[in-house]
Amino acid sequence: MLDRIGNTPLLRIERVGQEFPNVEFCAKAEWFNPGGSVKDRPALSMIQAGLASGALQRGKTIIDATSGNTGIAYAMIGAALGFPVQLCLPDSASHERKRILAALGAELVITAGDEGTDGAIRKVHEIVEQSPEKYFYPDQYSNPANWQSHYRTTANEIWQQTSSRITHFVAALGTSGTFVGTTRRLKDLNPAIRCVSLQPDASFHGLEGWKHMPTAIRPAIYDDALADENLEVSTEDAYQLVKRLAREEGLLVSPSAAAALLGCFKVAAGIPKTGHAVIVTVFADSASKYLNERFWDEE
Amino acid sequence: MPVKVMIPSPLRPYAGKRDSAEFNARTVGEALGHLTTEFGDLRKHLFTEDGKLRSFVNVYVNDEDIRYLAKENTPTKDGDTISIIPSIAGGVPTMELAS
Protein backbone atom coordinates (compact mmCIF):
# COMPACT_ATOMS: atom_id res chain seq x y z
CA MET A 1 0.00 0.00 0.00
CA LEU A 2 2.82 2.44 0.83
CA ASP A 3 4.11 1.96 -2.74
CA ARG A 4 1.00 3.85 -3.79
CA ILE A 5 2.26 7.08 -2.20
CA GLY A 6 3.22 9.58 -4.88
CA ASN A 7 2.82 9.36 -8.66
CA THR A 8 -0.45 11.24 -8.40
CA PRO A 9 -2.26 12.43 -11.55
CA LEU A 10 -1.55 15.87 -12.96
CA LEU A 11 -4.93 17.39 -13.78
CA ARG A 12 -5.49 20.02 -16.45
CA ILE A 13 -7.86 22.74 -15.20
CA GLU A 14 -9.98 23.36 -18.27
CA ARG A 15 -12.70 25.90 -17.58
CA VAL A 16 -12.32 28.11 -14.52
CA GLY A 17 -9.18 29.76 -15.91
CA GLN A 18 -10.61 30.50 -19.36
CA GLU A 19 -9.94 34.22 -19.04
CA PHE A 20 -6.28 33.31 -19.53
CA PRO A 21 -6.38 31.47 -22.90
CA ASN A 22 -2.61 31.67 -23.24
CA VAL A 23 -2.00 29.81 -19.96
CA GLU A 24 -2.28 26.09 -19.15
CA PHE A 25 -3.15 25.41 -15.50
CA CYS A 26 -2.21 22.02 -14.07
CA ALA A 27 -2.55 20.62 -10.54
CA LYS A 28 -1.19 17.55 -8.78
CA ALA A 29 -4.23 15.67 -7.41
CA GLU A 30 -2.73 14.74 -4.07
CA TRP A 31 -5.89 13.17 -2.66
CA PHE A 32 -4.97 10.14 -4.80
CA ASN A 33 -2.41 9.27 -2.12
CA PRO A 34 -3.64 6.41 0.15
CA GLY A 35 -3.96 8.71 3.18
CA GLY A 36 -5.88 11.24 1.10
CA SER A 37 -3.39 14.11 1.02
CA VAL A 38 0.02 15.41 -0.02
CA LYS A 39 1.23 14.77 3.54
CA ASP A 40 1.70 11.07 2.82
CA ARG A 41 4.88 12.02 0.97
CA PRO A 42 6.76 13.83 3.77
CA ALA A 43 5.37 11.52 6.48
CA LEU A 44 6.67 8.42 4.69
CA SER A 45 9.97 10.14 3.92
CA MET A 46 10.52 11.19 7.58
CA ILE A 47 9.63 7.70 8.83
CA GLN A 48 11.96 6.05 6.30
CA ALA A 49 14.76 8.46 7.24
CA GLY A 50 14.15 7.61 10.92
CA LEU A 51 14.40 3.88 10.14
CA ALA A 52 17.58 4.42 8.12
CA SER A 53 19.29 6.45 10.83
CA GLY A 54 18.13 4.20 13.66
CA ALA A 55 16.15 7.03 15.30
CA LEU A 56 13.05 4.90 14.74
CA GLN A 57 13.30 1.29 15.89
CA ARG A 58 10.95 -1.48 16.96
CA GLY A 59 9.49 -0.69 20.35
CA LYS A 60 9.39 3.07 19.72
CA THR A 61 6.26 5.15 19.26
CA ILE A 62 5.92 7.78 16.54
CA ILE A 63 4.77 11.01 18.21
CA ASP A 64 3.90 14.46 16.84
CA ALA A 65 1.52 17.36 17.28
CA THR A 66 -0.95 17.45 14.42
CA SER A 67 -4.62 16.96 13.89
CA GLY A 68 -4.36 17.64 10.20
CA ASN A 69 -3.31 15.62 7.20
CA THR A 70 0.16 14.86 8.58
CA GLY A 71 -1.48 13.14 11.57
CA ILE A 72 -3.62 11.03 9.26
CA ALA A 73 -0.50 10.11 7.23
CA TYR A 74 1.46 9.13 10.37
CA ALA A 75 -1.46 7.08 11.68
CA MET A 76 -1.91 5.28 8.36
CA ILE A 77 1.79 4.59 7.77
CA GLY A 78 2.36 3.66 11.42
CA ALA A 79 -0.49 1.14 11.22
CA ALA A 80 0.84 -0.29 7.94
CA LEU A 81 4.38 -0.68 9.31
CA GLY A 82 3.36 -1.85 12.80
CA PHE A 83 4.52 1.20 14.79
CA PRO A 84 2.30 2.73 17.48
CA VAL A 85 1.42 6.40 16.83
CA GLN A 86 0.64 9.00 19.48
CA LEU A 87 -0.73 12.40 18.41
CA CYS A 88 -1.19 15.51 20.53
CA LEU A 89 -4.01 17.68 19.26
CA PRO A 90 -6.06 20.55 20.57
CA ASP A 91 -9.58 19.92 21.80
CA SER A 92 -10.74 22.32 19.06
CA ALA A 93 -9.87 19.80 16.32
CA SER A 94 -13.01 18.54 14.63
CA HIS A 95 -14.82 15.45 15.84
CA GLU A 96 -14.44 13.95 12.35
CA ARG A 97 -10.62 14.28 12.50
CA LYS A 98 -10.43 12.66 15.89
CA ARG A 99 -12.56 9.79 14.56
CA ILE A 100 -10.30 9.25 11.53
CA LEU A 101 -7.15 9.26 13.68
CA ALA A 102 -8.67 6.97 16.30
CA ALA A 103 -9.98 4.60 13.61
CA LEU A 104 -6.41 4.22 12.32
CA GLY A 105 -5.35 3.19 15.81
CA ALA A 106 -3.53 6.38 16.86
CA GLU A 107 -3.50 7.26 20.55
CA LEU A 108 -4.82 10.80 20.96
CA VAL A 109 -3.59 13.18 23.66
CA ILE A 110 -6.06 16.07 23.83
CA THR A 111 -4.72 19.52 24.83
CA ALA A 112 -6.56 22.78 25.63
CA GLY A 113 -8.52 24.12 22.64
CA ASP A 114 -7.70 27.80 23.17
CA GLU A 115 -3.95 27.05 23.14
CA GLY A 116 -4.32 25.66 19.62
CA THR A 117 -1.37 23.95 17.96
CA ASP A 118 1.08 25.67 20.32
CA GLY A 119 -0.37 23.78 23.28
CA ALA A 120 -0.19 20.48 21.39
CA ILE A 121 3.48 21.05 20.46
CA ARG A 122 4.36 21.93 24.07
CA LYS A 123 2.73 18.66 25.14
CA VAL A 124 4.81 16.62 22.66
CA HIS A 125 8.01 18.26 23.97
CA GLU A 126 6.97 17.46 27.54
CA ILE A 127 6.23 13.79 26.76
CA VAL A 128 9.42 13.28 24.72
CA GLU A 129 11.61 14.98 27.35
CA GLN A 130 10.27 12.62 30.03
CA SER A 131 11.23 9.43 28.12
CA PRO A 132 13.21 10.23 24.97
CA GLU A 133 14.14 6.58 24.46
CA LYS A 134 10.50 5.62 23.89
CA TYR A 135 9.67 8.04 21.09
CA PHE A 136 10.46 8.99 17.51
CA TYR A 137 9.48 12.65 16.98
CA PRO A 138 9.70 13.47 13.23
CA ASP A 139 8.97 17.24 13.69
CA GLN A 140 7.92 18.15 10.16
CA TYR A 141 8.89 21.82 10.60
CA SER A 142 12.57 21.01 11.11
CA ASN A 143 13.11 17.64 9.40
CA PRO A 144 14.95 17.85 6.05
CA ALA A 145 13.35 14.53 5.01
CA ASN A 146 10.14 16.59 4.68
CA TRP A 147 11.32 18.79 1.79
CA GLN A 148 13.51 16.02 0.39
CA SER A 149 10.39 13.93 -0.30
CA HIS A 150 9.21 16.62 -2.74
CA TYR A 151 12.71 17.01 -4.19
CA ARG A 152 12.80 13.29 -4.98
CA THR A 153 9.21 12.73 -6.03
CA THR A 154 6.80 15.64 -6.60
CA ALA A 155 9.17 17.77 -8.70
CA ASN A 156 10.31 14.92 -10.96
CA GLU A 157 6.71 13.80 -11.49
CA ILE A 158 5.74 17.35 -12.54
CA TRP A 159 8.73 17.55 -14.88
CA GLN A 160 7.77 14.27 -16.58
CA GLN A 161 4.02 14.88 -16.61
CA THR A 162 4.43 18.26 -18.31
CA SER A 163 7.05 16.82 -20.70
CA SER A 164 9.41 19.45 -19.21
CA ARG A 165 7.11 22.26 -20.44
CA ILE A 166 6.46 23.72 -16.97
CA THR A 167 7.22 27.47 -16.85
CA HIS A 168 5.88 28.35 -13.37
CA PHE A 169 5.47 26.46 -10.09
CA VAL A 170 3.10 27.87 -7.49
CA ALA A 171 2.64 26.46 -3.98
CA ALA A 172 1.62 27.56 -0.51
CA LEU A 173 3.90 27.77 2.50
CA GLY A 174 2.96 25.69 5.55
CA THR A 175 5.88 23.69 6.85
CA SER A 176 7.28 24.96 3.51
CA GLY A 177 8.31 21.38 2.58
CA THR A 178 6.28 21.23 -0.66
CA PHE A 179 7.54 24.59 -1.92
CA VAL A 180 11.16 24.21 -0.83
CA GLY A 181 11.68 20.64 -2.07
CA THR A 182 9.82 20.96 -5.36
CA THR A 183 11.38 24.35 -6.17
CA ARG A 184 14.94 23.17 -5.45
CA ARG A 185 14.58 20.22 -7.84
CA LEU A 186 12.75 22.16 -10.57
CA LYS A 187 15.43 24.85 -10.50
CA ASP A 188 18.07 22.10 -10.92
CA LEU A 189 16.17 20.82 -13.95
CA ASN A 190 15.55 24.25 -15.46
CA PRO A 191 16.68 27.40 -13.62
CA ALA A 192 14.28 29.49 -15.75
CA ILE A 193 11.20 28.00 -14.06
CA ARG A 194 9.64 30.77 -12.00
CA CYS A 195 8.63 29.60 -8.50
CA VAL A 196 6.02 31.53 -6.54
CA SER A 197 5.14 30.90 -2.89
CA LEU A 198 1.71 31.67 -1.41
CA GLN A 199 0.55 32.79 2.01
CA PRO A 200 -2.80 33.64 3.57
CA ASP A 201 -3.49 37.39 3.53
CA ALA A 202 -3.86 37.56 7.34
CA SER A 203 -2.77 35.73 10.47
CA PHE A 204 -6.37 34.65 11.14
CA HIS A 205 -7.53 32.61 8.15
CA GLY A 206 -9.26 29.40 7.07
CA LEU A 207 -6.66 27.80 4.81
CA GLU A 208 -5.65 24.53 6.39
CA GLY A 209 -1.93 23.92 6.57
CA TRP A 210 -1.05 27.43 5.38
CA LYS A 211 1.22 29.69 7.35
CA HIS A 212 1.22 33.47 7.58
CA MET A 213 4.97 33.83 7.85
CA PRO A 214 5.11 37.32 9.44
CA THR A 215 3.16 36.11 12.49
CA ALA A 216 4.16 32.45 12.68
CA ILE A 217 7.28 30.65 13.82
CA ARG A 218 9.53 30.32 10.83
CA PRO A 219 10.07 26.59 10.10
CA ALA A 220 13.73 25.56 10.25
CA ILE A 221 13.48 24.00 6.77
CA TYR A 222 12.16 27.22 5.17
CA ASP A 223 14.50 29.05 2.79
CA ASP A 224 13.18 32.52 1.95
CA ALA A 225 15.76 32.98 -0.82
CA LEU A 226 14.08 30.38 -3.05
CA ALA A 227 10.88 32.11 -4.13
CA ASP A 228 10.96 34.41 -7.13
CA GLU A 229 7.82 36.02 -5.77
CA ASN A 230 5.47 35.68 -2.82
CA LEU A 231 1.72 36.33 -3.18
CA GLU A 232 -1.18 36.50 -0.73
CA VAL A 233 -4.57 34.82 -1.04
CA SER A 234 -7.83 35.45 0.84
CA THR A 235 -9.84 32.65 2.43
CA GLU A 236 -13.15 34.00 1.12
CA ASP A 237 -11.89 34.13 -2.49
CA ALA A 238 -10.74 30.52 -2.08
CA TYR A 239 -14.20 29.48 -0.84
CA GLN A 240 -15.78 30.97 -3.97
CA LEU A 241 -13.35 29.10 -6.19
CA VAL A 242 -13.92 25.80 -4.34
CA LYS A 243 -17.56 25.97 -5.41
CA ARG A 244 -16.68 26.88 -9.00
CA LEU A 245 -14.18 24.02 -9.24
CA ALA A 246 -16.86 21.61 -8.05
CA ARG A 247 -19.60 22.89 -10.36
CA GLU A 248 -17.60 23.79 -13.45
CA GLU A 249 -14.81 21.21 -13.41
CA GLY A 250 -16.27 18.38 -11.34
CA LEU A 251 -13.35 18.73 -8.95
CA LEU A 252 -14.33 18.55 -5.30
CA VAL A 253 -11.22 19.99 -3.65
CA SER A 254 -10.30 21.58 -0.33
CA PRO A 255 -10.27 25.36 0.26
CA SER A 256 -6.46 25.27 0.36
CA ALA A 257 -6.35 23.61 -3.08
CA ALA A 258 -8.61 26.31 -4.51
CA ALA A 259 -6.42 28.93 -2.84
CA ALA A 260 -3.40 27.47 -4.63
CA LEU A 261 -5.22 27.84 -7.96
CA LEU A 262 -6.10 31.45 -7.06
CA GLY A 263 -2.38 32.04 -6.67
CA CYS A 264 -1.91 30.60 -10.17
CA PHE A 265 -4.50 33.06 -11.53
CA LYS A 266 -2.61 35.95 -9.91
CA VAL A 267 0.57 34.76 -11.61
CA ALA A 268 -1.28 34.36 -14.93
CA ALA A 269 -2.53 37.95 -14.71
CA GLY A 270 1.07 39.11 -14.96
CA ILE A 271 1.90 37.09 -18.08
CA PRO A 272 1.74 39.02 -21.39
CA LYS A 273 -1.14 37.92 -23.65
CA THR A 274 1.35 37.20 -26.38
CA GLY A 275 3.26 34.74 -24.18
CA HIS A 276 2.46 31.15 -23.27
CA ALA A 277 2.80 29.60 -19.82
CA VAL A 278 2.35 26.23 -18.14
CA ILE A 279 1.60 26.91 -14.48
CA VAL A 280 1.66 23.94 -12.13
CA THR A 281 0.42 23.80 -8.53
CA VAL A 282 -0.38 21.21 -5.89
CA PHE A 283 -3.92 20.41 -4.73
CA ALA A 284 -3.13 19.17 -1.21
CA ASP A 285 -6.39 17.32 -0.58
CA SER A 286 -10.03 16.89 -1.56
CA ALA A 287 -13.12 18.48 -0.02
CA SER A 288 -14.06 15.36 1.91
CA LYS A 289 -12.86 16.64 5.29
CA TYR A 290 -14.32 20.13 4.80
CA LEU A 291 -17.90 19.37 3.78
CA ASN A 292 -19.19 20.44 7.18
CA GLU A 293 -18.01 24.03 6.74
CA ARG A 294 -20.42 26.91 6.52
CA PHE A 295 -19.29 28.40 3.22
CA TRP A 296 -20.97 25.66 1.15
CA ASP A 297 -24.36 27.04 2.20
CA GLU A 298 -23.49 30.71 1.90
CA GLU A 299 -23.64 32.90 -1.17
CA MET B 1 -23.51 39.44 33.71
CA PRO B 2 -19.87 39.00 32.65
CA VAL B 3 -19.02 36.46 29.99
CA LYS B 4 -15.46 35.62 29.08
CA VAL B 5 -14.33 35.79 25.44
CA MET B 6 -11.21 33.76 24.72
CA ILE B 7 -8.99 35.38 22.09
CA PRO B 8 -7.09 32.88 19.90
CA SER B 9 -3.34 33.39 19.41
CA PRO B 10 -3.46 34.72 15.81
CA LEU B 11 -5.83 37.51 16.93
CA ARG B 12 -4.00 38.62 20.07
CA PRO B 13 -1.80 41.15 18.24
CA TYR B 14 -5.05 43.03 17.41
CA ALA B 15 -6.35 42.81 20.98
CA GLY B 16 -3.53 44.39 22.97
CA LYS B 17 -1.92 40.92 23.27
CA ARG B 18 -4.76 39.88 25.59
CA ASP B 19 -5.75 36.21 25.68
CA SER B 20 -9.25 36.94 26.95
CA ALA B 21 -11.64 39.76 27.78
CA GLU B 22 -14.81 39.96 29.89
CA PHE B 23 -18.00 41.77 28.98
CA ASN B 24 -21.54 42.12 30.22
CA ALA B 25 -23.60 40.61 27.43
CA ARG B 26 -26.92 38.84 26.99
CA THR B 27 -26.04 37.19 23.68
CA VAL B 28 -22.99 36.01 21.77
CA GLY B 29 -23.52 38.79 19.24
CA GLU B 30 -23.49 41.41 21.99
CA ALA B 31 -20.28 40.02 23.48
CA LEU B 32 -18.53 39.99 20.09
CA GLY B 33 -19.86 43.52 19.48
CA HIS B 34 -18.26 44.73 22.74
CA LEU B 35 -15.04 42.90 21.86
CA THR B 36 -14.72 44.54 18.44
CA THR B 37 -15.67 47.95 19.87
CA GLU B 38 -12.94 47.72 22.49
CA PHE B 39 -10.42 46.33 19.97
CA GLY B 40 -11.37 47.94 16.65
CA ASP B 41 -8.62 46.18 14.70
CA LEU B 42 -10.31 42.84 15.40
CA ARG B 43 -13.46 43.71 13.48
CA LYS B 44 -12.23 43.00 9.96
CA HIS B 45 -10.76 39.69 11.09
CA LEU B 46 -14.05 38.46 12.54
CA PHE B 47 -16.74 40.10 10.43
CA THR B 48 -17.35 40.77 6.74
CA GLU B 49 -17.93 44.34 5.55
CA ASP B 50 -21.69 43.84 5.87
CA GLY B 51 -21.33 42.70 9.47
CA LYS B 52 -21.69 38.93 9.06
CA LEU B 53 -19.39 36.54 10.89
CA ARG B 54 -16.75 35.44 8.35
CA SER B 55 -17.33 31.94 6.96
CA PHE B 56 -14.29 30.33 8.53
CA VAL B 57 -14.83 31.79 12.00
CA ASN B 58 -16.43 29.30 14.36
CA VAL B 59 -17.79 30.52 17.69
CA TYR B 60 -18.51 28.30 20.67
CA VAL B 61 -20.34 29.01 23.91
CA ASN B 62 -18.68 26.75 26.42
CA ASP B 63 -18.28 23.74 24.11
CA GLU B 64 -21.33 24.28 21.91
CA ASP B 65 -21.02 25.56 18.34
CA ILE B 66 -23.41 28.55 18.03
CA ARG B 67 -24.26 27.36 14.52
CA TYR B 68 -26.35 24.63 16.16
CA LEU B 69 -27.78 26.97 18.80
CA ALA B 70 -29.25 30.38 17.89
CA LYS B 71 -26.15 31.66 16.05
CA GLU B 72 -25.28 35.22 17.12
CA ASN B 73 -28.55 35.42 19.08
CA THR B 74 -27.46 32.55 21.31
CA PRO B 75 -28.13 33.73 24.89
CA THR B 76 -25.25 33.90 27.33
CA LYS B 77 -25.29 33.71 31.09
CA ASP B 78 -22.96 34.67 33.89
CA GLY B 79 -19.68 32.75 33.72
CA ASP B 80 -20.08 31.48 30.15
CA THR B 81 -16.95 31.21 28.02
CA ILE B 82 -17.03 32.16 24.35
CA SER B 83 -14.30 30.72 22.11
CA ILE B 84 -13.37 31.93 18.63
CA ILE B 85 -11.76 29.21 16.53
CA PRO B 86 -10.82 29.29 12.84
CA SER B 87 -11.96 26.18 10.98
CA ILE B 88 -8.52 24.78 10.33
CA ALA B 89 -7.77 21.45 11.96
CA GLY B 90 -4.06 21.19 11.30
CA GLY B 91 -3.04 24.60 12.47
CA VAL B 92 0.46 25.97 12.66
CA PRO B 93 2.51 27.07 15.65
CA THR B 94 2.49 30.79 16.32
CA MET B 95 5.12 33.24 17.53
CA GLU B 96 3.84 32.81 21.08
CA LEU B 97 5.30 29.32 21.25
CA ALA B 98 8.74 30.69 20.44
CA SER B 99 8.62 33.26 23.20
Per-residue pLDDT of chain A (299 residues; tens, 9 = 90+): 899 999 999 999 999 999 999 999 999 999 999 999 999 999 999 999 999 999 999 999 999 988 789 999 999 999 999 999 999 988 777 778 888 999 999 999 998 776 777 788 899 999 999 999 999 999 999 999 999 999 999 999 999 999 999 999 999 999 999 999 999 999 999 999 999 999 999 888 889 888 888 877 788 999 999 999 999 999 999 999 999 999 999 999 999 999 999 999 999 999 999 999 999 999 999 999 888 888 998 87
Residue A217, phi then psi, degrees to nearest 5 = -70, 130
Please report which confidence band the pLDDT of residue B94 belongs to, taking 50, 70 and 90 as the band edges: low
- Residue B99, domain member (yes or no): no
Contacts of residue A113 in chain B, CB cutoff 8 Å?
83, 85
Say whether domain A40-136 belongs to CATH 3.40.50.1100: yes
Q: Which of A88, A92, A256 to mutate to test the interface with B (most CBs of B within 10 A)?
A: A92
CB contact under 8 A, B89 and A206: no
CB contact under 8 A, B9 and A118: yes
ipTM: 0.80
Chain B contact set for A212 (CB, 8 A): 10
pLDDT of residue B85: 84
- Kindly indicate whether the domain formed by A2-32+143-297 is annotated with CATH number 3.40.50.720: no
pLDDT digits 0-9 by tens, B66-88: 988 999 999 999 999 999 988 76
Say which CATH number the domain at B48 has: 3.10.20.30
Q: Please tell me which residue, B95 or A159, carries the higher pLDDT value.
A: A159
A254, closest residue in chain B (CA to CA): B88
- Mean pLDDT in residue range B58-69: 89
- Cα–Cα distance for residue pair B35/B22, rounded to 1 Å: 9
Please indicate, yes or no, if residue B94 is contained in any of the structural domains. no
Q: Nearest-CA distance from A139 to chain B in Å?
A: 12
How many residue contacts between A and B have a Cβ separation below 8 Å? 113
In chain B, whose CA is at the least distance from the CA of A96? B89
pLDDT beyond 80 at B97 = no
In which domain, by residue range, is B67 found? 2-88
**Three-class HEC string of chain A:** CHHHCCCCCEEEECCCCCCCCCEEEEEEEHHHCCCCECCHHHHHHHHHHHHHHCCCCCCCEEEEECCCHHHHHHHHHHHHHCCCEEEEEECCCCHHHHHHHHHCCCEEEEECHHHHHHHHHHHHHHHHHHCHHHEECCCCCCCHHHHHHHHHHHHHHHHHHCCCCCCEEEEECCCCHHHHHHHHHHHHHCCCCEEEEEEECCCCCCCCCCCCHHHECCCCCCCCCCCCEEEEECHHHHHHHHHHHHHHHCCCECHHHHHHHHHHHHHHHCCCCCCCEEEEEEECEEHHHCCCCHHHHCC
> Is residue B95 in some structural domain?
no
Q: What is the mean pLDDT of residues B28-34?
A: 96
When mean pLDDT is compared over A227-231, B15-19, B90-94, the highest value belongs to A227-231
Report the domain count for chain B: 1
Q: What gap in Å lies between CA B59 and CA B53, rounded to an integer?
A: 9
Domains A2-32+143-297 and A40-136 equal at CATH topology level: yes
CB contact under 8 A, B89 and A114: no
Cα angle at A26 between A22 and A28, to 5 degrees? 170
What pLDDT score was predicted for residue A216? 76
Q: Which residues of B touch A207 (CB under 8 A)?
A: 88
Q: Which of A20-29, B13-22, B51-60 has the highest mean pLDDT?
A: A20-29
Give yes or no for B50 touching A (CB within 8 A): no
Domain boundaries, chain A: 2-32+143-297, 40-136
